A = this chain, B = another copy of it.
Amino acid sequence: MKVVRQTRQRQAVLEVLRSTRTHPDAAWVFQEVRRAMPNISLGTVYRSLDALASEGVVMVIERAGERARYDYRHEDHHHVVCRGCGAIFDVPPSLTPPLPSDLPSGFRVTEVVLEYHGLCEKCQQEH
């Protein structure tokens, strides 16, 4: 049976994610981890992030055409995304919308995606 090993690289990646409240992308994590571990490779950072995500330790925020962002926060929350600068803000969950009354026959919903897109204060001013 497959055992997940506790490597120095994975510990370092997790430590970086824990250390920030932003929602960094893999390149930023890579750059930060390199300060403590100069030989780590970008591929390993991606693999570590994947592993942490599938263990459910970190959350992945994926937007088409944008780099994936990683979020260590565990509390239930939604994301507010600025489409100008790409900043992602956390907001407490409001209500969970009810499921549509007429889902396709037999469809089982496992995740409701609710995001708010728009422009942050700064990006509004720049136009």
Contact = CB atoms under 8 A, between A and B. Distances in A.
A46 interface: no
Interface of A: 62-66, 68, 78, 80, 82-83, 89, 91-92, 94-95, 97-121, 124
Given A80-B109, A97-B114, A112-B114, A104 B92 contact: no
Nearest to A106: B121
B114 A118 contact: no
B82 A100 contact: no
Count of identical protomers in the assembly: 2
Contact of A121 (B89, B105, B114, B118): B105
A107 B94 contact: no
A63 B119 CA distance: 20
Contact of A102 (B91, B99, B103): B91
A32 B92 CA distance: 45
Closest 7 CB pairs of A and B: A106-B121, A62-B64, A109-B118, A91-B100, A110-B118, A113-B115, A111-B117
